[in-house]
Structures are given as structure tokens and as C-alpha cells.
């Protein structure tokens, strides 16, 4: 390298350093609290307010993928990895296994990533397709801190801090670094930054999220994760205050709702604050949102029984919360003892149809070829103070263009997870401030 070229390289590095670590350094900082409503918000397709949600294999999916036999198999494999990660993390914490402060576990294996949400970041705002996840609390986006040349005019998967006039460095600096390895060998690493997040018709200035410079390809076409976990102020969760729920608490009162569409439907939605209360109107019946000190960011509730057909199956009594609502898990998991009874009842009610082979983790399956007027058993989830009638599509799992139908539940240890397959087409209203959850039929 010549002397002049070396000097130019050093100058470029110095420029990037100054740009990234000192940009807007003298501006006052308050992260995620000064939410303002736009005077004139640009009309967006889908819900005019809130955020749009797409099924990864739906007709309007940004990925353009269609559900197939191969993708169905992959979904079930990835789902099992996520659940194993959940179990490992939860049990380790309950056994007081120390989590290193420099290696916080604020997320889980992304799993199938079945739901994509459109998010607008920066100024000028750029749209990113992120995986919706209520099981983690820190949002992250693929990022390139120092961009050479002009800012791209076309939409890309990458966030460029230097291309946004509202970018700031996070207040945790210089200890903002984060590195996360997941159960399935996937990973992401980077550091926290601040920028404007648009939630129509609001803008959230100084929203803290992870600028992920390094990440595995297992996240697919998504640009990152939008985390809707509760967050935490615990010292074992050093970035727990960076949850979207916490950052917007003064404006949205820690209230949001979602409706997850099926693979056949166009789009669902996520609303926040008063908008959530209006759009996801509730009959007034809620189930308590419980607290588990070992995992304060997760959404724990009390599932007390399940009715299939006319048979009511009681859940085992436990001393601590053991049921989690998680959008990132696909197939709901039940304690082995309960699942065994549920499977037996399902078999009894489906005895008029020929038995089919298992489908991955799903071991209760039937071949409905030639059966055009088949009947799927009715199912009700009985939470404390709240009964939820499941749609037929939420009771079974079916591959694209396949006659095989399987019970969409699986057995596990003593932890219960209510996954997205059972949450489809339902308004799930999280009122964290008042510690309650409402679940009723939605409009997606």
C-alpha cells in the first residue's frame, strides 16, 4: 500500500469513527419516551394505524414464499428447537444458574419465524420486515454502521445509521455490546443504538434497538426481530429496559394487542395503547397476567383445563406459573400427562377416519382423503376467568395440498406454551399495567 493510499484509508476509518460515535452527541437524550403523534401521517396499506402483520407463507407475505411440504417440515423442526431453548433457559434461571452480564440471554431461538411485521425506522423512514416475537424483549435489525458511498435509494434489508438524521448512540455506551448464541447454532451480535420508530400515527424518537453487524443466515429473509416481551429492570437482564413495551410506557400505558392471520389470509395487525383497547374491544372478561420472577419478560397465565368434545381435562396443580403465551412458538405444548389424555380423546372422536403416519413432533394424525364433510372436534381452552373457543383451523395442523391432518398440540415436560397455531384469528390483548390478558375472536 502506498503512503497516500494508507493515509486515505486511515482518514476513512477516522471519518467513520467520528460519524458513528459522535453523531448528534450534544443533543439531549431520553430514549423511547417522547412519543409524538404525527400531524399528517402518510396513508399505508393495511391498518391505517398500528403495524401490519403477515404470515410468512401467506398471500401478502413480503418473503414471497408459499407454504409447501418442505417448509412445513422445516417449521416443525425449527419450532422444536425453540421450545428446547425455552425449557433450557427457564429451568436454568429457576435453578439460579448465573447468566453473565456481558452475555445476556434476552432472546430465544427464533424458531419458525412464522409472523413478519412491517416496521419503519429512521429519518427518512425505511421499512424493515421483522419477525414478531412476544418471547423476547430486545428488538434488533441487520446493520452496517459505516457505509461507504451514497445511501441506497431502494429498500434493503440493512439499517444504515449514517443514512438517518435521527440516529443517536445509546446511553449504555461504551458497554452496549451484545452477543447472543441460540440453541440452534444461530447468532446475532452488535451494539445498541437509537433512532425514530414509526407506529402509525405515532413516532417514537430515540427508540433503542440492537444494531446487529453479525448474524447467521438462519433468520431468512427477515431483517431482524421486533420484540414485544415485557422487559425487565432486573440486574440479570441488563438491557431489559430496552423493551418496546417499557420504552413506550408513558404513551401506550403498556397495552398492546395482536391478531395473527392464517396462511390463507392477507394480513393481521398489532395496535398499541388506546388504539389497542378500541380495535381489540373486549367483553370485559380477562385472565390474570401472572409474574414469574425467574422470567419476568414472558407472558404467564393460568390455564386450568381443556375441553375436547364433551370431555374436560384438568391441568395439574402447580405452585408457580407454568403457562406461557408465545407468538414465536407454533405448536402449543402441554404437560405429557395432559397431552396423552387429549390425544386419546381426539383419537376417539376421529375414529371414523383412517389413521395416518406421524408428522414430525405431531403423533396424532388422520388421512382425510375423500372425506369432504369431515368434522374436527371442538376445543375450548379454560384459563382462569376466561374461556377461549378455538377455531377448527387452530385445533389441527395440515400441510399444503395434503390430506393428512394432525392434532396441533405436542407433549412436553411440565411447562405449557400456547403457540401461534392456537392464537390465529384471535385478538390477544395484553394489558401489562393492569396485569391482565383478554382473548376473543379477531378480525384478521
Share of the chain above pLDDT 70, in %: 77
Terminal-to-terminal C-alpha distance of the chain: 60
What pLDDT does 93 receive? Answer: 64
- Share the mean pLDDT of the chain: 81
Domain of residue 355, residue span: 282-441
Q: Is the pLDDT confidence value at 183 over 50?
A: yes
Indicate which residue of 133, 184, 195, 359 is catalytic: 133
Question: Looking at residues 296-318, what average pLDDT do you find?
Answer: 94
| 286 shares its domain with 269 | no
Distance separating alpha carbons of residues 440 and 288, to the nearest angstrom: 15
Does a structural domain hold residue 17? no
CB 21 within 8 A of CB 13: no
d(CA 51, CA 269): 6
What pLDDT sits at residue 34? 55
The verdict on whether 133 is a catalytic residue reads yes
Last residue of a domain, one of 276, 292, 309: 276
C-alpha cell at 189: 451480535
- Give the position of cell 420484540: 227
pLDDT beyond 70 at 174:
no
Say if residue 359's pLDDT is above 60.
yes
Query: Of the residues 241, 260, 276, which one is the last residue of a structural domain?
Result: 276
Specify the residue for cell string 422487559: 231
Whether residue 1 lies inside any domain: the answer is no
Residue-by-residue DSSP string for 336-381? HHHHHHHHHHHHHHTTTS-EE--BTTB--EEE-TT-SS--PPPEEE
DSSP state of 46: S
- Three-state SS for 19? helix
pLDDT category at 390 given cuts 50, 70, 90 is: very high
Which residue, among 395, 419, 397, 396, has the nearest Cα to 303 in the 3D structure?
A: 419
Cα angle for residues 146, 149, 152 (degrees, 5° grid): 90
pLDDT reported for residue 433: 94
Q: With the C-alpha atoms ordered 44, 48, 50, 55, is the resulting torsion angle positive or negative?
A: negative
Looking at residues 394-422, what average pLDDT do you find? 91
Q: Is 84 left (phi over 0), alpha (psi -120 to 50) or beta?
A: alpha
Q: CA 106 to CA 71: how far, in whole Å?
A: 27
Q: Are residues 252 and 386 in the same domain?
A: no
Is pLDDT above 70 for 328? yes
Overall average pLDDT of the 353-373 stretch: 93
Quick one: 267 and 352 in the same domain? Answer: no
Same structural domain, 271 and 333: no
Determine the average pLDDT of the residues in 145-158: 74
Same domain, 215 and 311: no
Instruction: State the CATH number of the domain containing residue 133.
Output: 2.40.70.10
Asked if the structure places residue 78 within a domain, the reply is yes
pLDDT level of residue 165 (50, 70, 90 thresholds): very high
16-32 pLDDT, tens per residue?
Answer: 333 333 333 333 334 55
Tell me what pLDDT residue 280 has.
92
Does residue 67 register a pLDDT over 60? no
Q: What is the DSSP letter of 143?
A: B
Given 79, 85, 184, 326, the catalytic residue = 326
Among 245, 276, 307, where does a domain finish? 276
Residue 12: band (very low, low, confident or very high) from pLDDT cuts 50, 70, 90: very low
User: How far apart are the C-alpha atoms of 164 and 143, rounded to whole Å?
Assistant: 12
Indicate if the pLDDT at residue 311 is higher than 70. yes
Place of cell 440516529: 167
More confident position, 385 or 191: 385
Give, for 280, the enclosing helix (H) or strand (E): none
Residue-level pLDDT at 301: 96
Into how many domains does the chain fold? 2
Angle at 147 between CA 145 and CA 150, to 5 degrees: 145
Give percent above pLDDT 90 in the chain: 48
Strand-pair partners of 365:
356, 406
Residue 359 known to be catalytic: no
Contact between residue 377 and residue 349 where contact means Cβ atoms under 8 Å apart: yes
Contact assessment for residue 229 and residue 297, using Cβ atoms and an 8 Å cutoff:
yes
> What pLDDT was estimated at residue 305?
97
pTM: 0.86
Per residue in 112-133, pLDDT tens? 678 999 999 999 999 999 999 9
pLDDT class of 216 with cuts at 50, 70, 90: confident
The answer to whether residues 329 and 417 belong to one domain is yes
Distance between CA atoms of residues 343 and 358, nearest Å: 13
Per-residue pLDDT, 220:
72
Alpha-carbon distance 234 to 293, whole Å? Answer: 9
Q: Is the pLDDT of residue 274 over 70?
A: yes
* Least confident window among 1-10, 178-187, 218-227: 1-10
DSSP3 helix / strand / coil % (the chain, rounded to 5): 20, 30, 45
Handedness of CA 299, 197, 159, 210 (dihedral sign): negative
Confirm if 183 and 85 have CB atoms less than 8 A apart. yes
Q: What is the pLDDT of residue 241?
A: 82
Mean pLDDT check: name the lowest of 181-185, 411-415, 416-420. Answer: 181-185
Amino acid at each position: 500500500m502506498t503512503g497516500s493510499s494508507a493515509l486515505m484509508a486511515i482518514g476513512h476509518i477516522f471519518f467513520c469513527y467520528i460519524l458513528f460515535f459522535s453523531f448528534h452527541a450534544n443533543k439531549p437524550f431520553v430514549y423511547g419516551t417522547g412519543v409524538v403523534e404525527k400531524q399528517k401521517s402518510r396513508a399505508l396499506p393495511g391498518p391505517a394505524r398500528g403495524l401490519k402483520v403477515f404470515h410468512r407463507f401467506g398471500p401478502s407475505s413480503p418473503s414471497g414464499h408459499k407454504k409447501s411440504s418442505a417448509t412445513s417440515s422445516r417449521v416443525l423442526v425449527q419450532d422444536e428447537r425453540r421450545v428446547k431453548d425455552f425449557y433450557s433457559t427457564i429451568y436454568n434461571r429457576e435453578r439460579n444458574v448465573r447468566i453473565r452480564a456481558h452475555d445476556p440471554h434476552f432472546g430465544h431461538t427464533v424458531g419458525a419465524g412464522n409472523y413478519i411485521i412491517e416496521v419503519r425506522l429512521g429519518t427518512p423512514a425505511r421499512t424493515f420486515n421483522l419477525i414478531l416475537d412476544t418471547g423476547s424483549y430486545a428488538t434488533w435489525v441487520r446493520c452496517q454502521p459505516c457505509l461507504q458511498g451514497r445511501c441506497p435509494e431502494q429498500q434493503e434489508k440493512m439499517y444504515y445509521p449514517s443514512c438517518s438524521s435521527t440516529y443517536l448512540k445509546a446511553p449504555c455506551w461504551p458497554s452496549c455490546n451484545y452477543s447472543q448464541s441460540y440453541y440452534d447454532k444461530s447468532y446475532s451480535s452488535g451494539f445498541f443504538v437509537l433512532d425514530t420508530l414509526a407506529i402509525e400515527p405515532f413516532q417514537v424518537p430515540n427508540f433503542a434497538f440492537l444494531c446487529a453487524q453479525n448474524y447467521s443466515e438462519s433468520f431468512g429473509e427477515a431483517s431482524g426481530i421486533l420484540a414485544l416481551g415485557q422487559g425487565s429492570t432486573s440486574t440479570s437482564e441488563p438491557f431489559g429496559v430496552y423493551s418496546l413495551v417499557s420504552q413506550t410506557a408513558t404513551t401506550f400505558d403498556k397495552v398492546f394487542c395482536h391478531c395473527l392471520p392464517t396462511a390463507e389470509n392477507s394480513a393481521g395487525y398489532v395496535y398499541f395503547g388506546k388504539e389497542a383497547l378500541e380495535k381489540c374491544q373486549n367483553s370485559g372478561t380477562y385472565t390474570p397476567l401472572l409474574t414469574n420472577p425467574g422470567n419476568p419478560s414472558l407472558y404467564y397465565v393460568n390455564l386450568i383445563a381443556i375441553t375436547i368434545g364433551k370431555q374436560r381435562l384438568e391441568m395439574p396443580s402447580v405452585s408457580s406459573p407454568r403457562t406461557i403465551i408465545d407468538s414465536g412458538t407454533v405448536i402449543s405444548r402441554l404437560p405429557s400427562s395432559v397431552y396423552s389424555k387429549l390425544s386419546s380423546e381426539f383419537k376417539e372422536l376421529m375414529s371414523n377416519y383412517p389413521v395416518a403416519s406421524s408428522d414430525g413432533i405431531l403423533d396424532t394424525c388422520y388421512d382425510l382423503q375423500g372425506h369432504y364433510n369431515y368434522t374436527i372436534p371442538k376445543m375450548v381452552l379454560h384459563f382462569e376467568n376466561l374461556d377461549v373457543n378455538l377455531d377448527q383451523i387452530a385445533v389441527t395442523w395440515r400441510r399444503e395440498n395434503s390430506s393428512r391432518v394432525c392434532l396441533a398440540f405436542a407433549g412436553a415436560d411440565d411447562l405449557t406454551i400456547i403457540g401461534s397455531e392456537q392464537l390465529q384469528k384471535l385478538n390477544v390483548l395484553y394489558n401489562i399495567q393492569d396485569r391482565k390478558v383478554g382473548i376473543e375472536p379477531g378480525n384478521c
